[in-house]
Amino acid sequence: MERLETQLGYTFHDRTLLENALTHSSYANENHSPGGSNERLEFLGDSVLGMVTAAFLYRTHPDLPEGDLTRTRAALVCEESLVEVAEALDLGRYLRLGRGEDSGGGRNRVSIRADAVEAVIAAVYLDGGLEEARKIIQRFILDREAEKSASRDHKTALQELVQRESGQVLAYQLVDQSGPDHAKVFTVEVCLNGKSLGRGTGHSKKEAEQMAAKAAVAKLTQKKA
């Protein structure tokens, strides 16, 4: 438990809450665990996670409409996202599973690990309050997502943006190249349905396309704002 607390960055006052968060129903049933399984904590953790994430998106995206906020929140709190948290914490090794579930690969089961993450969030909330739970969610979900978004491919981001409406056609065109062979500079223009969205330069065509896409995303985002 101490090692997991170190990984979480939080020390429990009541460690039985953490133990309960790691207790699968198979273990609780086999051992008649007085605290029961982590299912009730999972229920609470789901709500805490959703609320903290919603508040974060509301503050950081003041111009985003309700539908986009809902979709973004769903992506952040989905099972896949929670499993990434479980992997970062190596949570599988700490789970208390029944013998059958354990031998059947329960420690690697996606649903079990995702549920345990929600239960741990609830345990932190009950032990230390909303602010401590928010810190866990910020560190392991919201900050990680921000890092992924920052490093995301600009062309992919542009494609996702324009695909929100059907019938959109993106095209990249090399419009200029200059400089000696060892230090060429390329200029690429990206067009949407034949209309220019932006230009970018780079020392390769791919780099120039990325810069053009970045400019186009900025232009489209400003228009919507």
Residues annotated as part of the active site: 46, 118
Residue 138, number of CB atoms within 10 A of its CB: 15
CA 45 from centre of chain: 16
For 191, the 3-state DSSP assignment is strand
Angle between helices 110-128 and 39-60 (to 10 degrees): 80
Q: Classify residue 57 as left (phi > 0), alpha (psi -120 to 50) or beta.
A: alpha
Q: In this structure, is the dihedral angle defined by the CA atoms of residues 6, 12, 15 and 16, taken in order, positive or negative?
A: negative
167-182 burial code (b ≥16 CB/10 A, e <16): eeebebeeeeeeeeee
